[in-house]
């Protein structure tokens, strides 16, 4: 992968960091997500709420079933998951729906959206015949229009390619990547795209010298496509991030961009492209504003701990009265998902409706 990118830089000149991140993560041959390698879980590069166990999908299934009932129990309820990865969340949600609310399971139809061929193959392997007829695979959210149901994403927006900007000499500069004798290096240049210039103007100039942060242009398109996918329904996105005041605080002088490899963090996204995960936090203020502009309303932003606990109460009571052999494992998973020292405050849940 590094040779491919360096050849591109040599032949065509500097590229934006967003272009670098796009290739490093999503190149169909050498990209991070293209390889048939286990990236998620204790044996991979990072853990997710899904990889903890089926408790996460179990609780989301109950939230979705509750919303389906609020809507009058329509005959068909579409669950649309952009960035569906290997289909694990789909399996957990549908399996739980089948067990605790067969009527909702009958109505549910799952749409898995995934661009990466290796992950689409993993979906077919995982879901197989056990959920045949209950799901459809897609390569783009824009393929779906006007359904009733829910758009649900987990740790999706943090993987959208971003532009990097730096405040120096009283103005904002966009960071490009250029080829040098020492390898790929940063090249500050004036911001060219009108959208990026407008974003920089909105930030103002009250920042220390060298302050660096990110701009995620994919947020607008994502919320527009999510809204177009739903005629009526629920929009749930779960990720790590901050309100704008915290995200762009002058003390956060190096931004939120980071990389992961074998559970080790690094702040150099130009090393080992295709071998490391590149991610940055979500600006939930901007995400909420974009979603409202796209047609969603009634936003609530909650720590994952309080969101899951709210929807877990009936389930927790049922475990007390009718425990099973699986109960201890599920309770351990619930604690991991909700404990402040674990994932409970690491992730936030934005829920809106249309």
Q: What is the pTM of this model?
A: 0.96
Determine the pLDDT at residue 42. 74
Instruction: Report whether 298 contacts 352 (CB < 8 A).
Output: yes
Determine the pLDDT at residue 11. 87
Tokens representing residue 275 in the block: 């071998």
Name, in order, each residue with C-beta under 8 angstroms of 307's C-beta and a sequence gap of 6 or more. 349, 351
Give per-residue pLDDT as tens, 231-286.
999 999 999 999 999 999 999 999 999 999 888 888 899 999 999 999 999 999 99
Phi, psi of 247, rounded to the nearest 5 degrees: -60, -45
* CATH superfamily of domain region 55-159+220-240+282-353: Vaccinia Virus protein VP39 (3.40.50.150)
Res 128 pLDDT > 90: no
Res 194 pLDDT > 80: yes
Phi, psi of 29, rounded to the nearest 5 degrees: -105, -45
Give per-residue pLDDT as tens, 296-344.
999 999 999 999 999 999 999 999 999 999 999 999 999 999 999 999 9
Residues 101-124: what's their mean pLDDT?
96
Q: How confident is the model at residue 8 (pLDDT cuts 50, 70, 90)?
A: confident
- What letter would DSSP give residue 77? E
Domain residue limits, the chain: 2-31+163-215+255-277, 55-159+220-240+282-353
Determine the pLDDT at residue 6. 80
Buried b (16+ CB within 10 A) or exposed e, 269-308: bbeebbbbbbbbbbbbbbbbbbbeebebeebebebbbebb
Q: What is the maximum alpha-carbon separation in the chain?
A: 68
Instruction: Report whether 104 contacts 77 (CB < 8 A).
Output: yes
Angle formed at CA 15 by CA 239 and CA 280, multiple of 5 degrees: 15
Phi, psi of 78, rounded to the nearest 5 degrees: -90, 130
């Amino acid at each position: 992968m590094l040779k491919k990118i360096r050849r591109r830089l040599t032949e065509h000149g500097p590229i934006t960091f967003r272009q670098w991140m796009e290739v490093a993560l999503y190149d169909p041959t050498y990209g991070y997500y293209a390889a048939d390698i286990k990236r998620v879980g204790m044996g991979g590069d990072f853990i997710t709420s899904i990889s903890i166990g089926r408790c996460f999908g179990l609780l989301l299934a109950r939230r979705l079933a509750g919303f389906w009932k609020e809507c009058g129990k329509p005959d068909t309820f579409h669950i649309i998951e952009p960035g569906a990865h290997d289909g694990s969340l789909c399996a957990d949600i549908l399996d739980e729906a089948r067990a605790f609310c067969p009527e909702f399971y009958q109505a549910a139809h799952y749409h898995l959206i995934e661009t990466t061929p290796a992950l689409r193959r993993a979906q077919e392997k995982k879901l197989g015949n056990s959920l045949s007829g209950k799901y459809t695979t897609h390569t783009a959210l824009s393929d779906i229009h006007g359904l009733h149901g829910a758009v649900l994403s987990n740790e999706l927006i943090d993987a959208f390619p971003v532009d990097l900007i730096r405040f120096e000499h009283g103005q904002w500069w966009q960071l490009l990547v250029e080829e040098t004798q020492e390898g790929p290096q940063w090249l500050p240049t004036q911001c060219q795209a009108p959208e990026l210039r407008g974003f920089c103007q909105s930030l103002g100039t009250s920042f220390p010298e060298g302050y660096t942060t990110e701009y995620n242009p994919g947020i607008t398109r994502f919320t527009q496509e999510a809204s177009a996918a739903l005629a009526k329904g629920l929009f749930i996105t779960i990720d790590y991030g901050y309100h704008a005041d915290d995200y762009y605080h002058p003390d956060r002088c190096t931004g939120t961009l980071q990389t992961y490899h074998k559970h080790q963090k690094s702040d150099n996204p130009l090393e080992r492209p295709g071998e490391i995960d590149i991610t940055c936090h979500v600006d939930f203020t901007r995400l909420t504003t974009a979603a409202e502009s796209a047609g969603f309303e009634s936003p609530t932003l909650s720590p994952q701990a309080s969101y899951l606990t709210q929807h877990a109460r009936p389930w927790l009571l049922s475990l007390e009265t009718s425990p099973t052999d699986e109960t201890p494992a599920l309770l351990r998973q619930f604690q991991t998902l909700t404990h402040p020292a674990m994932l409970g405050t690491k992730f936030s849940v934005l829920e809106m409706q249309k």
